[in-house]
Structure 1
């Protein structure tokens, strides 16, 4: 007895029909998942996978969920050539935020969203509290399924840049990264020059024993700020003691401050961000160390509360709103055919002098 094929084309064998949009090779031996691997995992035909990839009708919601789950599990991405065959402008840009929702990344994302909206784009956003390579890959693939025109990653960790650089998503990829990002479009603030401004300010006040409270080792921004501090110190013939490493949070600044309070040689501290400065000031206050009379303290970022610390914090201001808008400007260049769009990495932070720094006291 003959029967009718289901509307989802659930059979796993291919019997003609729609030409697939995606890889049509078996991929055997290459380790690269293909459309047929996705079809086998989901228990459907490759035509059904093609319909899901191209957002065509005739696929039940439950089947679509199964196919999308298989795509995510296999980290499958249609080849760029195949995607180009079915390319259609979606008016959507993907944004991935990986890491804690700290002041800087959160405000850069806000600037990005506003600029994208002004340019006529909708933003589809994915967030993860900590960077996980597999979760990041899955986020990219899910955004590709949404037919985004480009994907942006805001994450301070270099692993995220490495993971994104290894994905052939078939759409432009842009990262906010203060270190080089081969094969990706890059936008950043000049963290190195900002650190030079901070350290130079302290040296200009007569300080010679300047300690550095650094950010976490995996952070690109932390590495650039540490490098800027060390280079300026060496240029002035000054020693560069091993920095104390924090984790960007006030509690780690407090722990570092308890150690630094016993360092009677130090007359100044450059903290890699304002949040750690809060803890540092707290520890100094408890230990009876006066800021800036005994030790000058300078931070980085200029969070809104910095002007109201006790004492008000000298810091390095970053324009995070402008950073987010720079990302959109770069994307627009690329999407308009400027494949060799110039990376925007020349924006320099601004030194903001307040009461937490003063000339070195004579001892």
Structure 2
């Protein structure tokens, strides 16, 4: 049975007639009200699907005071981690019945953050999530006074605002411990940018595990997340090996730098993992298909998104909620192996 006037926009009364319930019951189902009998809810949802009814979000917002939209503001999402954080947030928001409005800033100033929050307020979003993995973004957020719930999404380091994140320190310790357990005397490290909280947390984890094992802590090689910086680090490490330094294991702060490192070691005539073992961080989709497949630490971005939305919903309901960091997972592949026979190498 098609509603009269099929060319007009469908309204709740059409759904009510199809389901054999009142207009108020359809409204309660559409707005997620809990006081609806399961059988009735199922009947209404079936009528919605059969008719292809789409709720009028503007009208619903007037009734409920909620647009069921979350705002997300970030400064830089061109790296794998931030991009996947956005994907995880969108999926979690959709699963909770929310949409995600996204603003990517050119610079992380307090003024830019404040303007972004003001735009979200004008759009009547229910809450704002902010990605603050870099120092300038985190500092800017401290200066923003949002008139609606604000949750910080970052992969490391505590901030004053309610926040969720992946345990970066634990992830770095996993990778470092794995290489030490293979018999390597120490583990060298290629860092991310100095202004990245994630990078500093991974340094902390690497140093903590080496300290716990009571082994030497080598000087870091500084990168910037890019394959080219990993490549330059690989060339420098190869030169130091030729000079007689004992370098048999390297932990890079992300997989993209590991990609460059692997290329440089190959060009320098070093076999991975026979001469040098390598471990990364992030688990890029390409990581299992590198030569050799890369041992790395996986961040669960889907779980990060789920916990961020969970924290937002708790704040919207006026509840206090404290969430543990998302645990990382070590994935052992062929780029890491036992320490070379003979331990210290005089050169290549």
CA spacing shift, 1:203–1:176, aligned 2, 3 Å: same
Match of 1:162 among 133, 136, 139: 139
The aligned residue for residue 179 of structure 2 is: 202
Q: 1:309 aligns with which of 273, 290, 296?
A: 290
Match of 1:179 among 148, 153, 157: 157
Query: How much has 1:111 moved relative to structure 2?
Result: 1.7
Task: State the alpha-carbon separation in 2 of the partners of residues 156 and 136 from structure 1.
Answer: 14
Does residue 238 of the first structure (1) align with residue 202 of the second (2)? Answer: no
Report what 1:143 is aligned to: 120
Q: Quote the residue 2:75 is aligned against.
A: 98
Following TM superposition, by how much is the alpha carbon of 1:357 offset from its aligned partner in structure 2, in angstroms?
0.4
By how many angstroms is 1:271 displaced? Answer: 0.3
The equivalent of 1:89 in structure 2 is: 66
Mapped to 2, the partners of 1:124 and 1:298 lie a distance apart of: 36
Residue 129 to residue 288, structure 1, CA distance change in 2 (3 Å): farther
Match of 2:324 among 345, 354, 362: 345
Partner residue, 1:64: none
Tell me if structure 1 keeps the 8 A contact 2:164–2:308.
yes
Unaligned runs of 5+ in 1: 1-86
Separation in 2, partners of 1:333, 1:105? 24
**Structure 2 partner of 1:11:** none
Aligned twin of 2:98: 121
> For 1:232 and 1:155, how far apart are their aligned partners in 2?
26
The Cα offsets for residues 194-240 of structure 1, whole Å up to 9 and x where unpaired, read as: 11100000110001131000111111111111000001101111111
What count of residue pairs does the alignment treat as equivalent? 274
| Greater shift in the superposed pair: 247-256 or 97-106 | 97-106
Helix, strand or coil at the partner of 2:176: helix
Give the distance between the partners of 2:175 and 2:106, measured in 1 at CA: 30
- What's the secondary structure of 1:189's corresponding residue? coil
Q: Is the 8 A contact 2:186 2:210 kept in 1?
A: no
Q: 2:273 aligns with which of 292, 298, 304?
A: 292
Equivalent residue for 2:166, pick from 152, 166, 189: 189
User: CA–CA distance in 1 between the matches of 2:95 and 2:74?
Assistant: 21
Distance in 2 between the 1:212 and 1:298 partners? Answer: 10
With normalisation by structure 2, the TM-score equals 0.76
Give the C-alpha shift of residue 132 in structure 1: 4.1
Mapping of 1:34-113 within 5 angstroms? 88-113=65-90
Q: SS of the counterpart of 2:125? A: coil
Name 1:47's counterpart in structure 2: none
Question: Which whole-Å deviations, capped at 9, do the CAs of 1:24-55 have from their partners, x for residues lacking one?
Answer: xxxxxxxxxxxxxxxxxxxxxxxxxxxxxxxx
Give me the whole-angstrom Cα distance separating, in 2, the residues matched to 1:174 and 1:162. Answer: 14
Preserved contact between residue 108 and residue 322 of structure 1 (Cα < 8 Å)? no
Structure 2: how far apart are the matches of 1:162 and 1:196?
27
